[in-house]
């Protein structure tokens, strides 16, 4: 049965209700449920509901149109999408009831509901796969594939894995799985499947337009965009695991200042505190943080401080937070995290918990001058990722867990904004759809230091941008690193050269091997946790330092251009790092270019991603291109072979930009 109500198209059959309506430009949203009514949850989508669609229906079928996109629904419920009246995407059915040229005896339907204890459903939504289609976006996965066609992706947050379920198709559409449930997305050759382990309804959104840029604009119109990136964070960020004392931080900053190297940000890592969940400095090693911040400011350096969501049961805040229900609750056991303590995790999906942690951090950090926060462990990280074992304020982890990092970013962004801050920029290890509007710089997690991992980060950064997260970075050289290993200097140089053309240029890592003794014998506080080897630009020898300094100076010189690119991200949602097809959607070779990219619209960057490589091929699209290293001019529309010595990265500037 079809009917129209309040500008929306409804279909009912066999206990299922399906609703299609216009939301945003050239876009449709689909909800479906086996319950008596729909849940009034927007999750990622905000705004655009006042768009009116064209709807028609009779006893056999119905249709709905919003600009370039339209959909038809058959009398048995199959949905087909069209762009400018040409087939775009259709649901997958292999069932007796459907008049289709496929084997019906399989009894497979597009929208499948499996009841689970508690009344919710495990759902699967299936679409026909299209030969030749390429898929991009979806967040960050530790694999080297830019084109995700053929990939199976877990929809779950882990250390170094970021689920942002927005996919951009080479067929001219963008698809948002508007559901924070743990699940899976399979972009197989024979079928596309989206699964949620526990949910009350199906909810997805699709837009069709003429270019990737227009698709990203339509998408970010509704999920939000990053604010303007602060100019005073566009240069070098210095970090290591870990600066243990106030004096160590100041010595590093003073040395940068003495050498004349601009340092925009220096970062204080974990266990500067007394216990996890106390969110304050150990005064034994940090006697006057406010004075430290003032001295850093005199060098033009901002100071970022690490905040973990973990709460040690021995901490001063645990009893109050437990009593007030501000912690994630395990269904089994009494622990969430066991790194250097028996800890629970604060529940960022609870507004009261967000206010609690911000008030503590405002008192102990912000009021002393700290205006940047490193929100580590933001997935959150569990000792064991048993997603069926945790319950949040908004629901079970299985049903809502993927939204946690966005809520965590929201806690600090809203607190800083209420305090009057305008240059907000915080670092997180995870994200979900819309995290960008809370000023989140996402980094790629605790990764290995090798060229294989570097290639994984290359694909991850581009796909994060396509998923709507423009502020992204990595631990240069990797997090887990033995700096004594042969080849590490080459890796560090290649990684730093590439990172110069990433949204954020950031030195970090647990640089080993290290046998540096603890500062004291306590089993808590700022002195007992280990530290890695030095990680400043000059820490790897004068030959390496000369190259890193050269690229740091290049980064500083590029700040006006970087500001332009960041402004575009805040205006229309464009990534900072852009897959080649984003700027050249009519060029088929750009859709398949997976080892080069555009830094904004002006610079083509061709990083060296393999050990020992001293030259490489680069595809230059149509136009005229200048090698920024020597000024040589090339005609586009061809592949060239270019030199890539150890102290250089091939970068080409597009004429006319």
Catalytic residues: 376, 379, 446
User: Distance between CA 620 and CA 598 in Å, rounded?
Assistant: 11
List Cα–Cα distances, 263 to 31, 169, 192, 454, in angstroms.
49, 40, 47, 24
- Per-residue HEC secondary structure of 573-625 comes to CCCCEEEHHHHCCCCHHHHCCCCCEEECCCEEECCCCCCCCCEEEEEECCCEE
List Cα–Cα distances, 444 to 244, 468, 473, 535, in angstroms.
24, 15, 7, 18
User: Distance between CA 403 and CA 640 in Å, rounded?
Assistant: 44
Contacts of residue 506, defined as CB under 8 A and 6 or more positions apart, other chains included, come to 236, 237, 239, 443, 473, 474, 475, 476, 499
Peptide bond into 185 cis (omega under 30): no
Kindly tell me the sign of the dihedral angle through the C-alpha atoms of 594, 598, 604, 609: negative
The closest of 353, 352, 360 to 274, measured between CA atoms, is: 360
81, β-bridge pairs: 71, 89
How buried is 139 (Cβ within 10 angstroms: 0-12 exposed, 13-18 middle, 19+ buried)? buried
On whether the CB atoms of residues 129 and 151 are closer than 8 A, the answer is: no
DSSP state, residue 448: B
Residue 516: half-sphere exposure toward Cβ, Cα within 13 Å? 18
Q: Is 245 helix (H, G, I), strand (E, B) or coil?
A: coil
The closest of 587, 575, 655 to 621, measured between CA atoms, is: 587
443, β-bridge pairs: 473
List Cα–Cα distances, 282 to 62, 190, 307, 344, in angstroms.
66, 57, 14, 21
User: Distance between CA 294 and CA 300 in Å, rounded?
Assistant: 10
What separation, in Å, do the N-terminal and C-terminal C-alpha atoms of the chain show?
Answer: 55
DSSP state, residue 146: S
Residue 269 tokens read as 């890592």
């Amino acid at each position: 049965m079809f009917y129209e109500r309040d500008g929306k198209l409804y279909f009912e059959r066999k206990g299922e209700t399906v609703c299609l309506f216009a939301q945003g430009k050239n876009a449709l949203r689909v909800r479906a449920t086996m319950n008596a009514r729909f849940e009034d949850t927007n999750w990622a989508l905000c705004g655009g509901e006042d768009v009116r669609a064209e709807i028609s229906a009779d006893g056999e079928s119905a249709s709905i149109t919003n600009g370039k996109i339209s959909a038809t629904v058959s009398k048995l419920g199959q949905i087909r999408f069209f762009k400018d009246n040409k087939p775009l995407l259709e649901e997958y059915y292999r069932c007796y009831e459907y008049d289709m040229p496929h084997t019906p005896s399989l009894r497979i339907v597009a929208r499948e509901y499996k009841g689970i204890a508690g009344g919710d459903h495990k759902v699967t939504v299936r679409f026909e796969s299209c030969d030749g289609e390429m898929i991009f976006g979806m967040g960050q996965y530790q694999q080297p594939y830019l084109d995700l066609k053929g990939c199976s992706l877990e929809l779950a947050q882990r250390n170094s894995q970021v689920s942002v379920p927005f996919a951009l198709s080479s067929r001219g559409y963008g698809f948002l799985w508007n559901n924070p449930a743990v699940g899976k997305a399979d972009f197989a050759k024979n079928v596309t499947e989206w699964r949620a382990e526990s949910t009350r309804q199906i909810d997805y959104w699709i837009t069709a337009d003429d270019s990737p840029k227009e698709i990203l604009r339509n998408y970010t119109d509704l999920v939000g965009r990053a604010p303007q990136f602060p100019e005073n964070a566009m240069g070098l960020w210095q970090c290591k695991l870990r600066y243990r004392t106030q004096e160590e931080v100041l010595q590093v900053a003073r040395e940068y200042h003495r050498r004349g190297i601009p340092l925009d940000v220096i970062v204080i890592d974990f266990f500067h505190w007394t216990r996890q969940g106390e969110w304050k400095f150990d005064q034994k090693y940090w006697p006057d943080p406010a004075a430290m911040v003032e001295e850093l400011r005199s060098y033009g350096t901002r100071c970022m401080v690490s905040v973990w969501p973990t709460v040690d049961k021995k901490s001063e805040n645990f009893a109050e937070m437990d009593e007030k229900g501000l912690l994630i609750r395990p269904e089994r056991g009494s622990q969430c995290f066991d790194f250097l303590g028996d800890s629970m995790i604060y529940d960022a999906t609870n507004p009261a918990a967000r206010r609690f942690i911000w008030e503590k951090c405002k008192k102990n950090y912000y009021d002393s001058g700290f205006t940047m926060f490193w929100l580590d462990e933001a997935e959150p990280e569990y000792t064991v990722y048993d997603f069926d074992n945790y319950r949040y304020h908004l629901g079970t982890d299985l049903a809502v867990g993927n939204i946690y990092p966005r809520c965590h970013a929201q806690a600090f962004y809203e607190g800083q904004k209420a305090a009057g801050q305008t240059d907000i920029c915080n670092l997180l290890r995870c994200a979900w759809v819309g995290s960008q509007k809370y000023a989140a710089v996402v980094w790629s997690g605790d990764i290995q230091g090798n060229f294989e991992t570097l290639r994984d980060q290359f694909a991850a950064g581009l796909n994060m941008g396509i998923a709507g997260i423009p502020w992204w970075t990595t631990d240069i050289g990797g997090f887990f690193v033995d700096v004594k290993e042969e080849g590490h200097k080459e890796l560090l140089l290649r990684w730093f050269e590439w990172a110069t053309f990433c949204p954020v240029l950031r030195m970090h890592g647990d640089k080993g091997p290290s046998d540096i003794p603890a500062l004291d014998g306590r089993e808590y506080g700022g002195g007992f946790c280990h530290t890695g080897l030095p990680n400043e630009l000059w820490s790897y020898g004068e030959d390496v330092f000369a190259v890193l300094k050269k690229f740091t100076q290049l980064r500083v010189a590029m700040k006006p251009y970087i500001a332009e690119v960041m402004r575009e991200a805040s205006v229309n949602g464009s990534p900072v790092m852009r897959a080649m097809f984003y700027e050249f959607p009519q060029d088929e070779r750009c859709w398949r270019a997976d080892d080069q990219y555009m830094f904004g619209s002006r610079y083509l960057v061709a990083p060296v991603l393999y050990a020992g490589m001293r030259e490489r091929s680069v595809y230059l699209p149509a136009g005229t291109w200048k090698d920024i290293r020597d000024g040589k001019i090339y005609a586009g529309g061809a592949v060239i072979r270019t030199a890539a010595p150890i102290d250089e990265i091939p970068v080409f500037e597009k004429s006319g930009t």
